[in-house]
Amino acid sequence: MGCEVARLASSFGQSVALVEATREGLPLAAPTGWISKALRHGAIELGTPDGSIRVPWERIEKEYIQPTAERAFAMTQEQMHLTNSTINYKDSGGYCLVGETTASTSKTSSEADNDYSATTTAKISFLKGNAEFDGPQRIKLNCGGDVDSFVESDTIFLSTGSVGTRVPGLPWNDERADGWLYDSHTIQNIGRLPHHVLIQGGGLIGVEYAFILRRLGANVTIILREDVLLSGKGVDDDIRLAIQGRLRKAGVDVHFDDGDISKVTLPSSPGGQGSVVLTRSGKTIKCDALASMVGRSGTAKPLDLPSGGLPPPTSSGHILVVPTTMRVRPSSSSFVHAPRVWAIGDVAKNSAISPTGLLSTGIAQAHLAVQSAFPDEWSEFMAEGGGGRILGNVGFDAFPPSAIWIEDGVGMVGLSENNASATIPKGDWATVTVHFNDTLKSCVQPRPEDEMLKMVFQKSTGRILGVHIFGAGAAEMIHHASSLVNNPIENTIWHVVKSVPPAVTYAEVLMKACQRAVDVIHGN
């Protein structure tokens, strides 16, 4: 999100200092979860759904993780115009500048009969260091050297992300647990394929890793407190059930309502087996890796927000923001003299954009924050971008499309069936489901029976309230659905039934869903 803000703000002519604590301060315009995406790709190409082949970890590392990292860094540098020649490591003695770049934006305007063009240039400085407030508008950078550096700015964006929440009671600080116990952050450095991994938590990351490690050839057990997988991320119940069915088919052992651990026995030697006892059932499970992935905590506590004139973070390490602007709530009720600070992405709490903790949500929040911080520049930018047609403040999409890279893929936007039943009057909403195998394309290329699109719609208006897709390419298809959900006046089911999908493509599922919705409204 930091890269996105820097890119946008610099295109308005703002000079930007981008501070990063890790990677020698280098920016990386990729999500925290990028390693799991590379692992998943390797698991799909080299592994098997039922884990019947053990894939050598070295191949995954060499053929998938390293090349992904190289491509992502190169892409970021190109995007930031940060060429190798400008990267300048001088981090001794507290000097934190990693590189600088000048972003240029050419503008061509036509006023009366006078066409003119102008170029805006803005400097982005890349700084290495652990940032914390040292006063309002003043950030201290701990670079690991003898001397601290400081950056002063009248506008500050906080996008420090999240880390894996650690369950109290597990031996996090016992060195015998090194290489055996992982959280949802440290799992990315596992560096080996366990024989039996026990995953605590049935959320997005736990389920994603369960599929990946199973495909690579590990035995996998999931334990969770809830009676359903993937709760709290807006995933529709039917899609959860489909994912659950896939886990069962893959041979993953799932223990619902049994997610707490009462006793841990650590391995007696590195790489060996340890065991846990489950609190509710009393079962003992042996494993050579325990991955406790029970949610994410915000990273705001070390930022010392009060020194910046802001309220302290929540107990979970998040920063409370104004829902529709992402501006950090000031200590007093007035914004007049409040610090100009915005928080976005995983570290922010209370946003009107949901579901939280996902990449596209954070990008949408970044756009909203920049729009709120620089309203005049944003208006000008939008007016130019639209050739004068899009004027001023364009608001925001409350439901960005989400892509969850589990199994074949989940793409979702807007209300699930559960959300609709909680917010829309009874009788005024309904759902329709179309399987990929109901399309013409599937006559040529059939798909697994559980792959589908489910749509939630409002009967009185024909508005499309939510679209949830499970199957290969789901994430690629959801962008179109998101423009329908977020623009409900111009895009009802009636508009979609008269649209034409590209011939012989799975895109037909959305049109078919709208046709079925019309039938439901007509009582057929």
Ligand X SMILES: Cc1cc2nc3c(=O)[nH]c(=O)nc-3n(C[C@H](O)[C@H](O)[C@H](O)COP(=O)(O)OP(=O)(O)OC[C@H]3O[C@@H](n4cnc5c(N)ncnc54)[C@H](O)[C@@H]3O)c2cc1C
Stretch that binds ligand X, among 13-21, 49-57, 99-107, 438-446 (CB under 6 A): 13-21
Work out whether 458 is an interface residue with ligand X (CB under 6 A).
no
Least distance to ligand X from the beta carbon of 398, Å?
16
Site string for ligand X, 275-314 (x = CB under 6 A): ------------------------x--xx-----------
Q: Extract the tokens encoding 258.
A: 């049994």
Q: How many CB atoms lie within 10 A of CB 238?
A: 17
Work out whether 403 is an interface residue with ligand X (CB under 6 A).
yes
Stretch that binds ligand X, among 66-74, 77-85, 342-350, 483-491 (CB under 6 A): 342-350
Burial class (CB in 10 A: 0-12, 13-18, 19+), 57: middle
Least distance to ligand X from the beta carbon of 228, Å?
19
Which of helix, strand or coil describes residue 418?
Answer: helix
Site for ligand X in 187-206 (CB under 6 A): 204-205
How far is the C-alpha of 425 from the C-alpha of 19, rounded, in Å?
A: 47
How far is the C-alpha of 72 from the C-alpha of 80, rounded, in Å?
A: 12
Whether 115 contacts 68, CB under 8 Å: no
Please say which residue, 101 or 160, places its beta carbon nearer to ligand X. 160
Please say which residue, 160 or 416, places its beta carbon nearer to ligand X. 160
Work out whether 493 is an interface residue with ligand X (CB under 6 A).
no
Please say which residue, 217 or 411, places its beta carbon nearer to ligand X. 411
Q: How many residues sit in the footprint of ligand X (CB under 6 A)?
A: 34
Stretch that binds ligand X, among 15-23, 62-70, 256-264, 445-453 (CB under 6 A): 15-23
Select from 358, 373, 464, 513 the one that contacts ligand X (CB under 6 A): 358
Q: Which residue shows structure tokens 């995983």?
A: 346
Select from 7, 18, 29, 33 the one that contacts ligand X (CB under 6 A): 33
Work out whether 21 is an interface residue with ligand X (CB under 6 A).
yes
Stretch that binds ligand X, among 102-110, 309-317, 399-407, 457-465 (CB under 6 A): 399-407
Least distance to ligand X from the beta carbon of 23, Å?
7
Residue among 341, 267, 419 nearest 5 (CA): 341
How far is the C-alpha of 183 from the C-alpha of 296, rounded, in Å?
A: 10
Whether 211 contacts 405, CB under 8 Å: no
Select from 32, 77, 101, 325 the one that contacts ligand X (CB under 6 A): 32
Work out whether 482 is an interface residue with ligand X (CB under 6 A).
no
Please say which residue, 140 or 329, places its beta carbon nearer to ligand X. 140
Least distance to ligand X from the beta carbon of 18, Å?
9
DSSP label of 385: H
Per-residue burial over 91-110, b = 16 or more CB atoms within 10 Å of its CB, e = otherwise: beeebbbbbebebeeeeeee
Work out whether 357 is an interface residue with ligand X (CB under 6 A).
yes
Select from 5, 359, 370, 434 the one that contacts ligand X (CB under 6 A): 359
What distances in angstroms separate CA 316 from CA 9, 163, 295, 486, 488, one per listed residue? 29, 11, 11, 30, 35
Length of the chain: 524
How far is the C-alpha of 298 from the C-alpha of 160, rounded, in Å?
A: 8
Work out whether 159 is an interface residue with ligand X (CB under 6 A).
yes
Please say which residue, 305 or 513, places its beta carbon nearer to ligand X. 305
Select from 211, 396, 405, 457 the one that contacts ligand X (CB under 6 A): 405
Least distance to ligand X from the beta carbon of 285, Å?
23
Select from 68, 149, 184, 416 the one that contacts ligand X (CB under 6 A): 184
Stretch that binds ligand X, among 31-39, 304-312, 317-325, 384-392 (CB under 6 A): 31-39
Per-residue burial over 455-468, b = 16 or more CB atoms within 10 Å of its CB, e = otherwise: bbbbbeebbbbbbb
Spatial neighbors of 255 by CB under 8 A, at least 6 apart, are 221, 222, 223, 224, 278, 281, 283
Please say which residue, 47 or 362, places its beta carbon nearer to ligand X. 362
Burial class (CB in 10 A: 0-12, 13-18, 19+), 175: exposed
Residues in a beta bridge with 150: 140
- Residues forming contacts to ligand X in the complex (CB under 6 A) are 1-2, 19-22, 31-33, 36, 130-131, 159-161, 184, 204-205, 208, 299, 302-303, 345-347, 357-360, 362, 402-405
